[in-house]
């Protein structure tokens, strides 16, 4: 992970939109739609792959670029969504991990625990 600061990236995205007069389009609802659409574009890459194939997507240069590019789009819309609503994404995640550590205690045994869909 690079030393890039997420707050600086969020600021660059806000400046980018403002200087292009895109703010009227950037309602929380529209940014959330865009986030969902970009997550699906990332998912499209994986739709016909087996689990094993999905673990090797970075071995092909073109696919690796596409994956990385869609990750950037997802993060871009997530940060822009958080910016317009004043949500601190890192604090939200830190608090969520705290809650999940209480909710899903580490099992004593060695058997894989069942996976909870409502995690």
Query: Within 55-94, which residues bind a copy of itself (CB under 8 A)?
Result: 55, 57-58, 67-69, 71-76, 78-79, 81-82, 84-94
Closer Cβ to a copy of itself, 21 or 61, answer by number: 21
Among residues 60, 61, 62, 97, the one that binds a copy of itself under rule CB under 8 A: 97
Say how many Å lie between the first and final Cα of the chain, rounded. Answer: 26
Q: At what angle do helices 89-103 and 61-85 cross, to 10 degrees?
A: 100
Mapping DSSP to helix (H, G, I), strand (E, B) and coil, where does residue 8 land?
Answer: helix
- Rule CB under 8 A: say whether 32 interacts with a copy of itself: yes
């Amino acid at each position: 992970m690079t030393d890039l600061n997420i707050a600086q990236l969020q600021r660059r995205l806000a400046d980018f939109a403002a200087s292009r007069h895109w703010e009227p389009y950037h309602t929380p609802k529209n940014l959330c739609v865009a986030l969902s659409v970009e997550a699906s574009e990332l998912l499209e890459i994986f739709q016909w792959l087996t689990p094993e194939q999905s673990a090797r997507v970075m071995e092909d240069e073109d696919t690796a670029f596409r994956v990385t590019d869609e990750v950037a789009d997802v993060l871009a819309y997530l940060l822009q969504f958080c910016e317009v609503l004043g949500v601190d994404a890192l604090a939200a995640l830190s608090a969520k991990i705290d809650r999940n550590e209480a909710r899903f205690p580490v099992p004593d045994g060695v058997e894989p625990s069942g996976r909870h869909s409502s995690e």
